[in-house]
Amino acid sequence: MSSLFTQDHSTPKMREKSNYAAEGVIPDSNPSDEGIDIDISRPNELAEHRGWRFYMIFAALAVTGLLSSAEATIISTALPTIVHNLNVGNNYAWIANAYFLTSMVVQPFFGQLANIWGRRWPMISSVVILIAGSAICGWAINGSMLIVGRAIQGIGGGGINMLVELIVCDLVPVRERSKFMGIIMGTLTVGTVVGPIIGGIIVQGGEWRWVFWLNLPIGGVALGFLVPFLQVHYTKESSFITKLKRIDWVGNFILAPSLISILFALTDAGTKAPWSSWRIILPLVLGFVGLILFQAYEASPWCVEPTIPVRLFRNRTSLAAYVLTLLHIITSIWTLYFYPLYFQSVLGSSPARSGIQILPTFLILLPFAVVSGLLVTKVGRYRPVHHAGFAIMMIGFGLSTLLNAGSSTAEWVIYQGVIAAGSGVIVSSLLPAIQAAISDDDAAASTALFALLRSFGAIWGITIPVAVFNNQFDKLLYRIQDPAARAALGNGQAYEHASRDFIYAFQEPLKSQIIGVYSDALKTVWQVGIAIAGIGFIVVFAEKELKMRTKLSTEYGMKDKEIEVPAGAPEAKV
């Protein structure tokens, strides 16, 4: 069996990519006569290539990303009203979970579709699917119909999230990707922030269905940009049936159920069932065994065109950057969920007020992401940026351990701002670091895996701190004198009861005892956050400071007129 998975089943071109990756050196151009060959170190050539249509494509990507990111969070403030109007009952959590589940599992699949059918039609199809799901949600007559619509929305949103980043990779070389990724990440941040605000405004207006109907005109605007301007190259030589045969059907059918099994377990762990329950252990074990089988199949001779090629992991820089991607999203989500919990349980804020109190995170993350992207593009180095980002996050988590019921506004604004600054410093340079070590031919697969790890890590970014918090809270329960209050908050129930309405229903001194336990349990959460960020800081040492290519060589680039290159340079078609 071991020999089966160590044989070399790759084509000569794949082996060439693998050799480059193993050596940590990627040539400035691919040995191909098709596509685009642009060198950003030659300003005249660059200016000629980047006409107005380049920026229209970039605007289309920004609008499309804004649509997807806003849709992921807009439901948060509207959920109680929707649950009440449709009598959803105990399945209300799946209104949100259905979107995240489907968006996560389809991202590798869309990566392969983008290699086979090019970038244009998978992107346009993703927007159409999201619009269709939004229409179903808007006209939902019961909870089941709404959850189905949200699952369809997630398929479109997952495709959009992955393809936006992939198309940026097709438009600009590795050296410039941090700059443009910073702008895209900034746009996604704006969507994430305004989503709940828009949802709240719509619900207050009395018609929750507009939470979903609003996507129809916005999606129409996105299509209005994409259809005429997203004209990108791809090879059309094979038939439709041949393209269908190229899809890694077996690999995707192994991967999707494995991820779903893990998500089901993590959704219920510590809340509906303890971690020791077979209801949690069994799906977790099945899911991780499935992931092992998936990777074994991907490396086998039966998988001709793998969804996630093993060559992506054959150099330490891209492997380290993938690990950093996972750790970065875990620590980032950590803050987004547990600062609001601090605001509501310790400071006594309402959910609406806590939404305003978390705004410094977004307002600080955005400029740091953009500036960091510009800096990496300027100096061509990512390791110092990654070290700085994780170090800053460690400081932010350390400062957060000082928070308590008496902390001032300045304290919690500054402390969460420090974590956000560290997160922003890192976010725009992770994918370029991954792709500095691999060929541009693997842009789709590497971007799909990057997107998948962020979605997968976001789940762990909720699950790990919730488990730490509930466990520590149970250890401190003895400080709450009232047996009824201990019963209500023990056994993993503290997180779900972390609200002003629940805590402030108790009289003194019991109320102060409960707040004190919440405050001290949160200190442990921040301490574990220091450790996670510290692991990230250590993993950065595994990265090599590779040269970030200034030349873009891709067969999927923007269609344009042919570009004249200096005499003696290889001719490139567009």
HEC letters along 179-197: HHHHHHHHHHHHHHHHHHH
User: Pick the residue with more confidence: 329 or 492?
Assistant: 329
Percentage, residues of the chain above pLDDT 90: 30
Examine residue 569 and state whether it is found in any structural domain, yes or no: no
Domain end (from 260, 284, 304): 304
Residues 417 and 292 in one domain: no
Residues 95 and 83 in one domain: yes
**pLDDT at residue 35 is higher than 80:** no
d(CA 417, CA 399): 11
Residues 319 and 281 in one domain: no
d(CA 386, CA 475): 36
Q: Give 519-569 as a DSSP string.
A: HHHHHHHHHHHHHHHHHHHHHGGGS-------EEEESSSB--S-----TTS
User: Pick the residue with more confidence: 395 or 61?
Assistant: 395
pLDDT in tens, 447-462: 889 989 988 888 888 8
d(CA 567, CA 37): 14
CATH code at 46? 1.20.1250.20
pLDDT of residue 293: 95
Examine residue 235 and state whether it is found in any structural domain, yes or no: yes
Instruction: Provide the sign of the torsion angle of the four alpha carbons 216, 184, 164, 560, taken in this order.
Output: positive
d(CA 323, CA 313): 11
Residues 270 and 225 in one domain: no
Residues 332 and 292 in one domain: no
Cis status of the peptide bond prior to 509, with omega within 30 of 0: yes
pLDDT of residue 150: 92
Domain limits at 279? Answer: 248-304
- CB 443, CB 170: distance < 8 Å: yes
pLDDT of residue 562: 39
User: pLDDT band at residue 149, thresholds of 50, 70 and 90?
Assistant: very high
List the one residue out of 287, 371, 325, 324 whose CA is nearest residue 536.
324
pLDDT of residue 59: 85
Residues 102 and 171 in one domain: yes
Beta bridge partners of 280: none
d(CA 442, CA 449): 11
Q: What average pLDDT score do residues 281-299 get?
A: 94
Q: What average pLDDT score do residues 99-119 get?
A: 88
pLDDT of residue 4: 31
Residues 354 and 287 in one domain: no
d(CA 125, CA 111): 13
**pLDDT at residue 22 is higher than 50:** no
Residues 264 and 219 in one domain: no
**pLDDT at residue 5 is higher than 60:** no
Q: Give 229-276 as a DSSP string.
A: H--B-----S-HHHHHHHS-HHHHHHHHHHHHHHHHHHHHBTTTB-TT
Instruction: List C-alpha distances in Å: 506 to 404, 482, 502.
Output: 19, 10, 8
- CB 215, CB 64: distance < 8 Å: no
- CB 159, CB 125: distance < 8 Å: yes
Examine residue 186 and state whether it is found in any structural domain, yes or no: yes
d(CA 208, CA 201): 9
CA 187 centroid distance within chain:
14
d(CA 358, CA 73): 14
pLDDT of residue 527: 96
Residues 345 and 323 in one domain: yes
pLDDT of residue 49: 56
Residues 138 and 252 in one domain: no
pLDDT in tens, 323-369: 999 999 999 888 888 898 899 889 988 877 887 888 898 889 888 99
Q: Give 92-149 as a DSSP string.
A: GHHHHHHHHHHHHHTHHHHHHHHHHH-SHHHHHHHHHHHHHHHHHHHT--SHHHHHHH
Mean pLDDT in the chain?
82
CB atoms within 10 A of CB 104: 26
Examine residue 498 and state whether it is found in any structural domain, yes or no: no
Please count the structural domains in the chain. Answer: 2
Residues 310 and 256 in one domain: no
d(CA 166, CA 175): 15
Q: What average pLDDT score do residues 51-63 get?
A: 82
Examine residue 175 and state whether it is found in any structural domain, yes or no: yes
pLDDT of residue 236: 65
Q: What average pLDDT score do residues 302-320 get?
A: 88
Q: Which residues of 272-291 are buried (b: 16+ CB within 10 A; e: fewer)?
A: eeebeeeebeebbebbeebb
Phi, psi dihedral angles at 551 (to 5 degrees): -105, 135
Cα radius of gyration rounded to whole Å, the chain: 24
What does the DSSP 8-state code read for residue 570? P
Q: What average pLDDT score do residues 7-19 get?
A: 41
The region of weakest confidence among 23-27, 133-137, 389-393, 420-424 is: 23-27
Phi, psi dihedral angles at 250 (to 5 degrees): -65, -45
Q: What average pLDDT score do residues 255-261 get?
A: 92
Examine residue 154 and state whether it is found in any structural domain, yes or no: yes
User: pLDDT band at residue 255, thresholds of 50, 70 and 90?
Assistant: very high
pLDDT of residue 234: 66
d(CA 242, CA 530): 50
- CB 5, CB 296: distance < 8 Å: yes
Angle of helix 120-138 relative to helix 52-73, nearest 10 degrees, comes to 30
pLDDT of residue 566: 38
Q: What average pLDDT score do residues 536-543 get?
A: 95
Euclidean distance between the first and the last CA atom of the chain, given in angstroms as a whole number: 45
pLDDT in tens, 183-214: 888 788 778 777 777 877 787 777 888 889 98
Phi, psi dihedral angles at 39 (to 5 degrees): -115, 115
Q: What average pLDDT score do residues 146-164 get?
A: 92
**pLDDT at residue 404 is higher than 90:** yes
**pLDDT at residue 39 is higher than 70:** no
Q: What average pLDDT score do residues 33-51 get?
A: 50
List the one residue out of 373, 364, 463 whose CA is nearest residue 413.
364
Instruction: Provide the sign of the torsion angle of the four alpha carbons 412, 415, 420, 421, taken in this order.
Output: positive
Examine residue 370 and state whether it is found in any structural domain, yes or no: yes
Residues 268 and 214 in one domain: no
Examine residue 346 and state whether it is found in any structural domain, yes or no: yes
Return the H-helix or E-strand segment holding 38.
strand 36-39
